[in-house]
Amino acid sequence: MGRLDGKVALITGGARGQGAAEAALFAAEGATVYITDVLDDEGEAMAAGLGGSVTYLHHDVADEHEWQAVADGIVEATGGIDVLVNNAGIFQVVGVADTTMADWNRMVAINQTGVFLGLREVGRRMRDRGTGSIVNISSIAGMGGAAMAFAYSATKWAVRGMTKSAALEFASDGVRVNSVHPGIIETAMLDQFGDRIPAIRERIPMGRTASADEVARVVLFLASDESSYCSGHEFVVDGAMTA
C-alpha cells in the first residue's frame, strides 16, 4: 500500500530537478500526479518516463488564467486535488545594488505570485471539499539573510509568511499548509554559483550537499496523512546549515 494511494497531486515546476524527484516519489507511492512547467519537451519526457499515472501540463505559474485552467482541468478529470506542491521557482545570483527592476519583477512573478495563485486557486477548491495538503517550497534563504541573492531571498521569506497566513485561514476547513526550506541541493540551480561551489560545500556541517530525493521525502511526508496535525510550519532540509 502506497502512502499516497488514491490521492491526486499537482506539482509545479515538475519538468526537472526537485519537482521531478517529487513526482517520481509521489507516483511510486500511489498518487495520480500532474506535473506542470513551461519546459514542455522536458516535462513531456519526464511524464512519459514515469508512466501512466503522471501527466504533464504546460503552465506558467505567474498567469492566473493558466492557474484556473489547470485547476479546473484536473478537478474535471479526477474529481479533486488532494495535494499541491508549489515547487516552481527561479534563482539568480545578484546583490541588491545590482538588482534591476526586470530581475525583481521576474523573481516576484514566479517565486511569490506563483505561490499566491496556487494557494488561492487550489486552496479554495480544497476548502470546498474539506480536505487537502499544500506544500510550498521555500529555501533556507527564507530563514535568514542571503548575500548576493537579494530578490530570491525576499520571495522565499514571502513564501514563508504566506504559508503561515494560509494555514491559519484554511485550518478549520481541513486544509493544511506547510513550507519546506531546502539548503544546498544538487540541482541545476547550484550551477549558478560557479567556482564558489566548493566553498559553499565547506560551510555545510554534514559535509555534503543533498540530493533532490532527500527533499522530496520530506515533501512526501507533508503530502501524506502521516502529517495530519502539521500545519503552518517550516520543515528545514539543510544538513544543519541554519542550526
Active site residues: 152
- Contact present, 96 and 104 (Cβ < 8 Å): no
Residue with cell 517550516: 234
Residue 121 makes CB contacts below 8 A (sequence gap 6+) with 64, 67, 68, 71
How far CA 211 is from CA of 60, 110, 182, 237, in Å, comes to 26, 23, 10, 10
Q: Which of 217, 212, 18, 221 is nearest to 133 (CA)?
A: 221
d(CA 235, CA 222): 9
Which residues partner with 54 through β-bridges?
33
